[in-house]
Chains A and B, each alone.
Chain A
Amino acid sequence: MRLSGITKRFGSLLANDGISLDLAGAEVLALLGENGAGKSTLVSILFGHYVPDAGTIEAFGAPLPPGDPAAALAAGIGMVHQHFTLADNMSVLDNVMLGTEPWWRLHSQRRAARRRLMETAGRFGLAVNPDARVGALSVGERQRVEILKALFRDAKILILDEPTAVLTPQEAGGLFATLKELVRQGLSIIFISHKLPEVLRVSDRIAVLRDGKLIDVRDARHAGEAELAHLMVGREVAPPQVRPHAVGALVCELNDVAVGGADGLAGVSLALHAGEITAIAGVAGNGQQALADVLFGVVAPDRGTVRVDGRALPATPRAWIGAGVARIPEDRNAVGTIGDLPVWENAIAERHAGAFARHGFVRRRAARAYARRLVQRFDVRAGRGVDTPARALSGGNLQKLILGRALTGDGDEKIAHVPKLIVARQPTWGLDVGAVAFVHQQLLDACAHGAAVLLISEDLDEILFLADRIAVIHRGRLTEARPANAWTASAIGLAMAGSSATEHADAA
């Protein structure tokens, strides 16, 4: 396959700038780059989701019509999206067959399809039960179904978009073995990631993207992590400084908290102390959102108690904000900020009826002055300053705004405000390296100043870097929170996959 001069613009953003790449047979080409570097745009163009503004794609010597996923499929390009595109309520076989049969055929050729599926699965060593309901499968198994779906359609080129993001370390290892087998049988793979170690491990060549441009293509055998990191980021980023912090008093205590629902909690107990970062590791969709929602004051637990400073708080955001809880939600656009409102109104949103209100009116002058200080201190880049609508901010700047709002409280500079408790859900998701370092530094600093920090993240590297104590969540249950140095990455991985917690306690 050959890409030449692919260019794509979104408004004023140049997502892909004249990218030319070759993919040889039976090789793994990694697309490495930060979030927003243009990796996803490029593969979306490859697969026909987007029409490029300029440039052409050739597959096996024949030009590929732009913007036509069906043509991409027919040309042997298969894609495994980061967010799976499977129907949970159907069986594995149904999912694999979906869309492969013409609608006018009266009889579905299930028997033949089943035979072919088993054949394919056997050939590549991907064990599946064709009759299992997809909704009942683990994430790793679902990914296997996605890969099979592509292979069933005779894919010769497989595109994997951040495939390890949802996997435990063990599952990722299994995936890498599968990829090796696929390549051995002659398939080509495009592997998208921003994690250096795994890129070096699986790929033959590494294409580094930055700001929509192809920076370099390196041979994986002769590339080092530091060198790739520099290419990817394009500048030096000072790593966050970990300051010593002393563990203080108990700040927040959850006792046997249960929340209903598929992604709920089944009796979670946890104690959070001042000056300590406690992290919750886990595969996405195991109750993290419910746990965060309880601690954001958005959801009331069905059972159990939550106490902050020994006081049970009602499930209203106001009560939690008032109690000194800094809340950082996962979705910056849908939950964290109000896009149509300007930066300054977003900055005071949590206190519009509290510190920034007088006689039912918003203290605009004080609010704007506060917002200006916040923007300066947290380095929020906004075109028209505090009057810029929040929707015009980049993800990193939006996160700085949310962080600033949560961490500065009522904004009186004379009082060094430190929240009692910081609940951060995926605080660095989708941010570039510089912004990630900034967020980490803020969390570390707040902790050093005596805040209790709860970090709920699906990024294991982040957790291992920041956490003093780690607990693992699986199907709404939490393991004991143990000191970070008592865990190994593989022990965390096993707990993420749900092997019993006591077993590991014994092993440790």
Chain B
Amino acid sequence: MRLEARGQTARGWLIAAPFAAVAVTLAICSLFVAWAGAPLMPTYAAIFDGAFGSRFAWSETLTRATPLMLTGLAVAVAFRARLYNIGAEGQLYVGALAAVALGGIAEVASLPPILVFAGMLAAAMAAGALLLLVPALLRTRLGVDEVVTTLLLNFVALLFVSMMLDGPMKDPAAMGWPQSVSLPDTLQLPKLIERTRVHAGLLIALALAVLLWGLLKYSTFGFAARAVGANPRAAAFAGVRVERTMVIVALLSGALAGLAGAIEVMGRTGYVTLDMSPGYGYSGIVIAMLAGLSPLGVVLASLFVAGILVGADSMSRAVAVPTYIADVIVAVALLSMLVATVFARYRLRWS
């Protein structure tokens, strides 16, 4: 048995790969379900039901998918240019913190809300972008591996947020909990559906997905980013400004992840805590890979991951399988997708 390079990958393969990966993932995870002693089909049915089975289930999934879409887009655009941004988690937190730092000041209440909104989003994007700018410059100028720097900066960012929440930004009314002040109601994103948590952030995320898709496909910047990602030497030879492109991609990616934090705060939680993100930044990597780094694919992939997370919650109440199965499914999905991308380039030959 050996691997043999395919001359050309059929389009169909690229589209089928994520679905095959998900199917394999569910097959592998059946073993864990069986291990937990639960019946297989009812467990998966319960996850599906909890994710997409009712209006409420849909609303919860969409709410969860909103930040995931944004971190997924952040990772997808960076990976396209072969800038391996593993730091979306940290960028999300500093974005959230920046948004609240601006919106939480009592004095801004007198300003028109639309201005404050824009200011908060801009602050969050700037914070996320700056946090990724540092590793990007280290990479382009000094050749420092950005996988290491962005990954480690996550912990720096989280500890910084922790410091702020326990210090200058601590809410005096929170009875000692390390959390920021709550945003006033006027500074929270409007709900899209009554009596659910789905908020206008979903529309922002969807719009950005379409925008980013167009940008990558049609713009000269998108061409440069894809060229740099596919072959930096040839791109440089053809006159693409590789360093500049990398830096712009980094700013864009960091801004998207920072925006995820702001939108999560403004749409769902209302204040920053240290557990506001159950790893949205890391799940963004899984989503981007499942999406084949396509911004439109990110929308579908984030619905899948959000559905698993939400569905597993309600499933665990019905069947005796711990919610951790969701994390296992998401992690196995990433591994399956990586294997699927190998098979998109190579085929197995039996000899």
Contact = CB atoms under 8 A, between A and B. Distances in A.
B230 A296 contact: no
A10 B6 CA distance: 9
B237 A329 contact: yes
B138 interface: no
A339 interface: yes
A337 interface: yes
B5 interface: yes
Contact of A338 (B4, B5, B8, B231): B231
Given A340-B230, A360-B220, A12 B235 contact: no
B80 to A, nearest CB: 11
Interface stretch (A216-224, A302-310, A347-355, A483-491): A347-355
A352 B8 contact: no
A334 B234 contact: yes
B227 interface: yes
A341 B4 CA distance: 21
Given A11-B6, A340-B231, A361-B218, A352 B237 contact: no
Contact of B8 (A296, A345, A362, A383): A383
B226 interface: yes
Interface in B205-260: 218-221, 223-224, 226-227, 230-231, 233-241
B238 A317 contact: yes
A352 B223 contact: yes
A450 B271 CA distance: 70
Interface residues of A, number: 34
Interface in B1-53: 4-8
A318 interface: yes
Contacts of B240: 349, 352
A10 B2 CA distance: 12
A41 to B, nearest CB: 15
Interface in B107-124: none
Nearest to A345: B223
Contacts of B236: 298, 317
A66 to B, nearest CB: 12
Majority secondary structure, A binding face: mixed
A318 B236 CA distance: 9
B231 A339 contact: yes
B349 to A, nearest CB: 10
A321 B239 contact: yes
Contacts of A389: 8
A364 B235 CA distance: 19
Contacts of B238: 317, 338, 349-350, 352
A357 interface: yes
A337 B234 contact: yes
Nearest to A293: B237
Contacts of B239: 316-318, 321, 349-350, 353
Contacts of B231: 334, 337-340
Contact of B221 (A327, A360, A364, A391): A360
A361 B226 contact: no
B351 to A, nearest CB: 8
B48 to A, nearest CB: 36
A76 interface: no
B151 to A, nearest CB: 26
A353 B235 CA distance: 12
Given A336-B234, A349-B239, A352-B238, 14 more contacts: A10-B5, A11-B5, A12-B7, A318-B239, A321-B239, A329-B237, A334-B233, A338-B234, A340-B231, A345-B227, A352-B223, A360-B220, A364-B218, A392-B7
Interface of A: 10-12, 296, 298, 316-318, 321, 327, 329, 334-341, 345, 349-350, 352-353, 357, 360-362, 364, 383, 388-389, 391-392
27 contacts: A10-B5, A11-B6, A298-B237, A316-B239, A317-B237, A317-B239, A329-B237, A334-B234, A336-B237, A338-B230, A338-B231, A340-B226, A340-B230, A345-B227, A349-B235, A349-B239, A349-B240, A350-B239, A352-B224, A353-B239, A361-B219, A361-B220, A362-B218, A362-B219, A383-B8, A391-B8, A392-B8
